Amino acid sequence: MLGILWTVSYVLVVMGLSAYGLHRFWMVYTYYRFKNKGINPLARFENLPRVTVQLPIFNELYVVERLIRSVVALDYPKDLIDIQVLDDSTDETRELASGIVKEFREQGYQIEHLHRTDRTGFKAGALQAGLQVAKGEFILIFDADFVPTPEIIHETIDYFTDSGVGMIQTRWGHINRGSNFLTKVQALLLDGHLLIEQTARNRSGRFFNFNGTAGIWRKTCIEDAGGWQHDTLTEDLDLSYRAQIKGWRFVFVPHVITPAELPMEMNAFKAQQHRWAKGAIQTCKKILPRVWESQLPLRIKLEATFHLTSNFAYLLLALLAVLIQPNPKNAGLHWDSIILIDVPIFMMASFSIFVFYGVVLRELKYPWYKILVYVPMLIATGIGLCLNNAKAVLEAVFNHQTDFARTPKYGIGTGVQKWWNQKYKAARSLLPLLELVMAAYYGYFIWFAWEKELWISLPFFILFTIGFGFAGIFSLFQRSSFSPWWNRFTVNRV
């Protein structure tokens, strides 16, 4: 009976992962079908509108000056742009930001330092508080780790000559893409989402989301959709769907790139991924029923379902990691059956990742052989994240409340910088120890597969071992007494 239960569970998990794999193939197909479909502004503004730039920050000592100075340098008439520094800081960031704002106010810039002592709603609360006093017809938002180019408003504002457009999203760039192994993988993950998924969804008429930063909203669109709400950790995804359900249209402009700093530390990356995964499932629970109750076309409902539930794939991957057994007798299923039945299905899920990110690398003009290096590294990283993100999914499902965990930023540019000695640190947990246990567990699988000559299974076991080991070791050593040696070893000069 136990063997039958295991078999059924295993097959269901692999089929679930394969379904998300097939969806990945569909995204690639849709991207190629629509990528050349241009979306141009209907007209040009004869009289430029007023724009409010919102900069939500919380304890951003190393990047706040870079952020404010880059925003002040925006190429837009000084009398038509207001800047709000929405500061919830509890450290010396507050004084630093206040001093920089005072400097530019004295130069005639319309810039305000709005400090809250009550962090109700975290980022969403700060944005909503700023919105209530915003003077601009359009609201441009930048997180603290972004460095906008001067021309960003001119490159986006004219899309709003179409009164039905509610939001314009630019594509993120990566200041420190080549800083270490982790930043290279993050950059590729984000490029897959921003270049392939966002383009495919937008150009094919499906819903896509504001990414929380580097985008510009029509103020009336935010208000019509119910404003910024803080009952999820992904207020950007939540508002995006509420606005589009109300009939507002969004535009993604992949040719407009806004540079940003990627997390250098594994624990910071995990915290960011945890927040995104948990918030996405919270939004799924809140919004997906409304999507299916609406009169939207079926194609939009189906894509919204895959989009909002996509983080369940991490839970399925974590379950798969547990369900795989090294001993055929204990597993209740012979390895011959696994190879004949399960591996083809699992290959469907895995091969889709190779195809998807192979397309990303090709679109970014990488040499073809880079696929053989970057994609396995990316798959291993996804495996390493599965316990972290599965935990986030379960917390969302069972309504476990946690605070908004900020991602530490260090003002990294290109080249080597000793970021690990800086003030801010990501929270730690016991999860890396479990990840190392799983790495050892799969290390035994490698030996077992070698001994039993299970050559088809061996590459998967290697990826699982590397993935869990990568996540666990980086989490433990990047901010430990080994930090100087470890980070000199893992940092690349760009």
Dump pLDDT digits (tens) for 174-201. 998 888 888 899 999 999 999 999 999 9
The answer to whether the Cα torsion of 135, 136, 139, 140 is positive or negative is: negative
Provide DSSP, 371-430.
HHHHHHHHHHHHHHHHHHHHHHHHHHHTT------PPP-----SS---GGGSS------S
Q: Is the pLDDT of residue 146 over 60?
A: yes
The answer to whether the Cα torsion of 427, 433, 436, 437 is positive or negative is: negative
Give the per-residue pLDDT at 367. Answer: 86
Give the per-residue pLDDT at 483. Answer: 52
> Out of 82, 87, 88, 238, which one is annotated catalytic?
88
CATH number of 48-180+187-263: 3.90.550.10
Please indicate whether residue 238 is annotated as part of the active site.
no
Please indicate whether residue 162 is annotated as part of the active site.
no
Give the per-residue pLDDT at 415. Answer: 45
Instruction: Report CA 194 to chain centroid distance, whole Å.
Output: 9
Give the per-residue pLDDT at 481. Answer: 47
Domain ranges of the chain: 2-31+311-490, 48-180+187-263
Residues 446, 354: Cα–Cα separation, whole Å: 22
Record the pTM.
Answer: 0.92
Give the per-residue pLDDT at 5. Answer: 84
The residue whose two tokens read 């624990």 is 267
Q: Is the pLDDT of residue 349 over 80?
A: no
Residues 384, 432: Cα–Cα separation, whole Å: 10
**Residue-wise pLDDT tens digits, 214-271:** 999 999 999 999 999 999 999 999 999 999 999 999 999 999 999 999 998 899 999 9
> Out of 82, 87, 143, 236, which one is annotated catalytic?
236
Residues 454, 435: Cα–Cα separation, whole Å: 24
The residue ranking higher by pLDDT, 142 or 429, is: 142
The candidate with the shortest Cα–Cα distance to 180, out of 239, 100, 265, is 265
**Residue-wise pLDDT tens digits, 165-175:** 999 999 999 99
The two tokens of residue 29 are 């197909």
